[in-house]
Amino acid sequence: MSDPRPSPFADGVPVARAEGIARDRRPGAAAQSPDTRLAIDIRELVAHGKTELARDRFGELVALHQRRAMRIAYQYLHDAADADEVVQDAFVKVFSHIDTYRETWPFEVWFTRILINGCLDRRKARARRARWFASTDTGHPPEDARPAFGATPQIDPEARLLARERRARLAAAIDRLDGRQRTIFMLSHYGDCTPREVSAMIGLKESTVRVHLFRATRKLRSLLGGRA
């Protein structure tokens, strides 16, 4: 079960990186990002019993973080259905535990931590299943290779095939990173988190995060031949 309680965050509040939020990464930027302020409002509404209104406001929060959350979850799990479920669970968990949110750290950090815990749980469950059940791989292309529901299929099959191969290589390379490096790389590169935010999420020193991030990138470049 994912722990919705985040680790204590160091002083200084980084600005939000969520989709659609103005990104200002300079020190001394606004004290609270829009999504953090929104989360505080929702918490107050829930505390005053205005759950309906809180739900409506929460929709705005979902819209702000959904794309980023999907990107992180999908890069972690490489399965559209699993990623979909994990993101949904994370948002529902955030709303259920919104009363435990404290504005001493940004909402993004809190939410991402919940999301990552969900992804890790899902990976563990998948590994357990893989130990006990035989593979049902029938040689069909993976789900991510198929066009999504409502998506416009690529017209050029060659470009589609090349993109699929490229992504498979990239996914294989990321899977070859060790667990900590992979998490740090995911959060930093796909989650748009600064090393400081990543250190708050996973409870490591910022300098350690930077070292892991550098090593992960170097390994990926060597595995992929310098090209993504």
Partner 1 sequence: MFRAHHIHEERLFECYLTEREGASMEPLVAEHLADCPECAHRYADLQRFMDDLRKEADAELDEVFSAERRRAQQQQIAHRLEQVGHAARIISFPGHPPADHHALPRRQRVAPRWLAAAAAIGLIVGAGLGGVLFRDRPATPVQPPVMGNVGPIEPAFVETRASEPANDVDFLSELEIALERPYTPELVALDALTPHVREVRITRVSR
Q: Which residues bind partner 1 (CB under 8 A)?
A: 23-27, 51, 55, 58-59, 62-63, 66-67, 70-71, 74-75, 80, 83-84, 87-88, 91-92, 95-96, 143-144, 147-152, 154, 163, 166-167, 170, 189-190, 194-195, 210, 213-214, 217-218, 220-221, 224, 226-228
- Residue closer to partner 1 (CB basis): 47 or 128: 47
The least distance separating partner 1 from the CB of residue 195, rounded to whole angstroms, comes to: 7
The least distance separating partner 1 from the CB of residue 189, rounded to whole angstroms, comes to: 6
The least distance separating partner 1 from the CB of residue 209, rounded to whole angstroms, comes to: 10
- Residue closer to partner 1 (CB basis): 180 or 210: 210
Q: What is the DSSP letter of 190?
A: I
The least distance separating partner 1 from the CB of residue 207, rounded to whole angstroms, comes to: 11
The least distance separating partner 1 from the CB of residue 59, rounded to whole angstroms, comes to: 6
C-alpha to C-alpha distance for 148 and 150, rounded to whole angstroms = 6
Q: Concatenate the DSSP letters of all residues of 29-66 into one string.
A: --SS-HHHHHHHHHHHHHHTT-HHHHHHHHHHHHHHHH
Question: Residue 64's CB: how many other CB atoms inside 10 A?
Answer: 22
- Residue closer to partner 1 (CB basis): 147 or 203: 147
Q: Is 199 helix (H, G, I), strand (E, B) or coil?
A: helix
- Residue closer to partner 1 (CB basis): 104 or 154: 154
The least distance separating partner 1 from the CB of residue 132, rounded to whole angstroms, comes to: 28
Q: 3-class secondary structure for 156-188?
A: CHHHHHHHHHHHHHHHHHHHCCCHHHHHHHHHH
Distances (CA, A) of 114 to 63, 97, 98, 211: 17, 11, 12, 24
- Residue closer to partner 1 (CB basis): 25 or 126: 25
- Residue closer to partner 1 (CB basis): 132 or 171: 171
Count of CA atoms in the C-beta half-sphere (13 A) of 94? 34
